[in-house]
Structures are given as C-alpha cells and as structure tokens.
Amino acid sequence: MSARLDAPPAASVEPVRRSPPGLVAARVAAMCLVELQKLRHDRAELLTRAVQPALWLLIFGQVFTGLRAIPTGNVPYLDFLAPGILAQSALFIAIFYGIQIIWERDAGVLAKLLVTPTPRVALVTGKAFAAGVRALVQALVVLVLAALLGVGLTTNPVNLVAMGAVVVLGSAFFCCLSITIAGLVLSRDRLMGIGQAITMPLFFASNALYPVDLMPGWLKAVDYANPLGYEVDALRGLLIGTPAHLALDFGVLVVAAGAMIGIAAALLGRLAR
C-alpha cells in the first residue's frame, strides 16, 4: 500500500512574528536612554553649538530690530526672530545625526544592533528622540539668551511643554532625514556635503527670518512643503503668542516624523551591508 502524501499541517507554517507595541516602546526607550548617556560626554559640543544661535540673536536680531527693515506688525523683530533661531539650532543638531550612524557602521556597532531582536523602527525612533532631547538642551540655551535680551517669552507651563514636543518632532524628522541620506550615500564625506548643502536652503526657505507674506509666490510654495516652516509657526504661537495654526502644525510634524522614521528604518539595513 503506497503511502499517501498529505499536505503539511497548517500549524507547521510558522507565522510572521510581530513585535507587540509594548515591546517596541520598551526598545525605543532603551535605545533613547543609550543615546542620551552620550550627552554626559558631549557638554562641550552643546556649548559650542550655542555660539551660532547666540550670534544670530545678538547681531542679526539686534541690528534688524533697530533698522525696522522687516515688518512684523506689533511684534518686535527680536521677538519674532527668537523662535526661528530656536528651530534653526535644533535643525543643525539633527541634520548631521546620520554621521553617527555611519560611524557606528564602521565600528561594527550597527551590525550587532541589527541582529538583536530590537525592531529597526525602534532603533531609528530611539535615535530620533535622542536627537530631539539634544535639541531641547540647545533650545534651553537659546531661550535663556532670548530672555536675557528682553524677548517677551511665555511662562505658561502648558505652552512650554508643547514647545518641547514641537522641538522633538521637528528634530526627529530631520534626524531621520539625515539617516535616510546616510543610507543612500553610505559615506560620511558625502553626507556632510549634502547636509551643508540643504541646511541653509531649508532655513532661508522658511518663515524663520521673515513673515510668509513677504515671500514671493514660489518661495511660499517651498515654505508650505518645508516642515521647518510649520515648526517655526508653532513655536511662535506657543512662545510669543502670535497667531498660529497649531493643529495643522502638529499634524504635519507628526505625519512627517512618522513617515521619515519608516523610510529611515527601511534603509538602515543597507548601511550594514
């Protein structure tokens, strides 16, 4: 009697494993904590990074406030400028975060992380929020300097917490943009060149220095597609009380950060090859 070939039981087909949300959140927190431990050894860098925003506020802000060359309504230009410089300082910290990823690849750290059970999206999200906390430390320096210069900042704790969330979301987007570029170019030198090439256009093509109403039509279109513009708009509304579209700003930043985290996670494996 010939043996009958039966179909393999359904139980033998191993289902695709999905990480539960709680595990992913725990991995994100762990990766973020590891990244933040580096801040203890990076205090000098944070201080040196504060020099550039200080120069913008002390020189550019003071001069243009006296000249009254840029109409900002009833808001002093230095008050108008301070949230834009805060967003700029966070951008400059986050946009070069991909260099650290390439360094970790060259040191063999990234390959070891990718073979752990930690989901790639958790690795990227942890680094993104670590960049956000670095940016918050930088933002604190800018806020203290702005207050010393007489900028009328809010003291509402709810607004300050919301400001922190905006800075973290904006930094997460630009950090993951940097990781995405790193996954495409695979070189520190190329990443540095591209980062330097896009930071100033992102900054000047936003409402950080001047109101949107003063922009030509083509620059307004660029500003509408620039997440930095939404970050600055939210920061102005929260810190100095100017009219802002907070719901739209938060929505754009959340969607942009989430999408860029997914793209960066998809390209993370390419760095380790």
> For every one of its 273 residues, what pLDDT tens digit does the chain have, with 9 covering 90 and above?
444 444 444 443 334 345 566 666 777 777 667 766 776 666 666 667 777 888 888 888 877 777 777 888 888 888 999 999 999 988 988 888 888 888 888 888 888 888 877 788 888 888 888 888 888 888 888 898 889 888 889 889 999 999 999 999 999 999 999 999 988 888 888 888 888 888 888 999 999 998 988 889 999 999 999 999 999 999 999 999 898 899 999 999 999 999 999 999 888 888 776
Residue type, 111: A
pTM of the model: 0.85
Q: Give the DSSP letter string of the chain.
A: -PPP-PPPPGGGSPPPP---HHHHHHHHHHHHHHHHHGGGG-HHHHHHHTHHHHHIIIIIIHHHHHHT-S--TTS-HHHHHHHHHHHHHHHHHHTTTHHHHHHHHHTTHHHHHHTSSS-HHHHHHHHHHHHHHHHHHHHHHHHHHHHHTT------HHHHHHHHHHHHHHHHHHHHHHHHHHHHH--HHHHHHHHHHHHHHHHHTTTSSS-GGGS-HHHHHHHHT-HHHHHHHHHHHHHT-----HHHHHHHHHHHHHHHHHHHHHHHHHHT-
